[in-house]
Structure formats: C-alpha cells, structure tokens
Amino acid sequence: MEDEHEARYRAYVDALTREIPGFRIVRKDRSRWQRAIHWSLVAVTFGGMRAYLTSYQTTIRRTVYVTADWDDRDARTRYITLRHEAVHLRQFRRFTLPGMALLYVLLPLPLGLAWCRARFEMAAYAEEIRATAEVWGPSHARDPAYRAEVIGEFLGPSYGWMWPFRRSLERWYDRVLADLDTAAR
C-alpha cells in the first residue's frame, strides 16, 4: 500500500504530466549529454562543482534529469525537489530552450554575476522553501542551517557563484518567509 507521502509525490508527477506535454523524468547518469555537462562544469568551476551528477536535479525543456538515487529518496524530498524543478519547467515553456540557454547561462556573465540565472533560481528556491514549509513545517524553512544551505547555493561554485551579494540574498529569503506568514493568515 502506498503511503500518503508517496501518493502526494505521484499526484504531483501526474499533474505535471498533464500540465507539461512531453514531461519526463530521466536519470542523469544514463544521459551522455548530462555526463558531458558534468565534466564541463567541473572545468569551468575549476573543480568546484563535482556533484552535478550525484547531488543536483536539472531541468532542461520538458525533462527533469535526476540523480541515480532519485527513486530511493524519501517521497517528501522528491516532492519538494520536483516543486523546485516545476518552476524551471514553466520557465522553459515561457522562454524556450534558446532563450533559457542565453539568459540562464550567459547573461550578464556566465560566472560571478549571473543575474538572470539568480532570478530564475530565486523563483525556484522560493517554491522549494514554500514546499519545505508545507511538508516539514514552517520551522524547518526558518531553520538557520536550511537558510544557510539555500543561500550558499547562490554564493558557491554549484551554480557558478551566480550572485555574490549575501545581504541581498538574505533580504530575498526574509521576503519569502514573510510571504509564508502572510499566506498562513
């Protein structure tokens, strides 16, 4: 018998399948293209991003590329992550593959000051924070360790040091939390 968490995850996958024609989930380690992206990221981040294949889910067009352990992860974690990736699915639908490639990868700079990438990820991480509060409770979204983890993604090599302004990221995170409070009223 399927538990409630697995049922919620499966229902969300079904909803995305209806919303995004051609939506699919594919293991990264089985994609030659994803392995090539991994080695490219290792090179451009001077070895700083070595976890692309093993720790990060990635959306390109209508496909969410997942790590080899995806099916073994807790259903609540898969649901939260898929909520993040669904934001990217919608961004690809709006901006198209060439548009996302230009905006996400290159503008204004590919590393350090990647304003467009930061904005795309802020939208996705905001959804992840909301989903985290829904699944694990608002206190988890407020936990300093979780906050540091999310903000660290913007500051570190995982996304090419996309936005180095910690204070602006902290203000953004505070706004997301304030929106949670408003929604709860």
Tens digit of pLDDT for each residue in 85-144?
A: 999 999 999 999 999 999 999 999 898 899 999 999 999 999 999 999 999 999 999 999
Cβ atoms 65, 57 nearer than 8 A: yes
Give me the number of domains the chain comprises.
1
Q: Which domain holds residue 59?
A: 4-184
pLDDT for the residue numbered 145: 98
How close are the terminal C-alpha atoms of the chain, in Å? 35
Q: Taking Cα atoms as reference points, which of 131, 123, 170, 124 lies closest to residue 151? A: 170
Instruction: Specify the DSSP class assigned to residue 89.
Output: H
Handedness of CA 9, 11, 12, 17 (dihedral sign): positive
User: Residue 182: pLDDT band by 50, 70, 90 thresholds?
Assistant: confident
Q: What is the distance between the alpha carbons of residues 154 and 158, in angstroms, rounded to a whole number?
A: 8
Compute the mean pLDDT over every residue in the chain, rounded to the nearest whole number. Answer: 95
Residue 145 CB burial class (10 angstroms; 0-12, 13-18, ≥19): exposed
Cβ atoms 129, 179 nearer than 8 A: no
This prediction's pTM: 0.95
pLDDT for the residue numbered 2: 66
User: Residue 175: pLDDT band by 50, 70, 90 thresholds?
Assistant: very high
Residues 6+ apart with CB under 8 A from 57: 64, 65, 66, 67, 70, 81, 84, 85
Residue 184 has pLDDT above 90, yes or no: no
Residues 6+ apart with CB under 8 A from 71: none
Q: Which residues pair with 63 in a beta bridge?
A: 24, 60
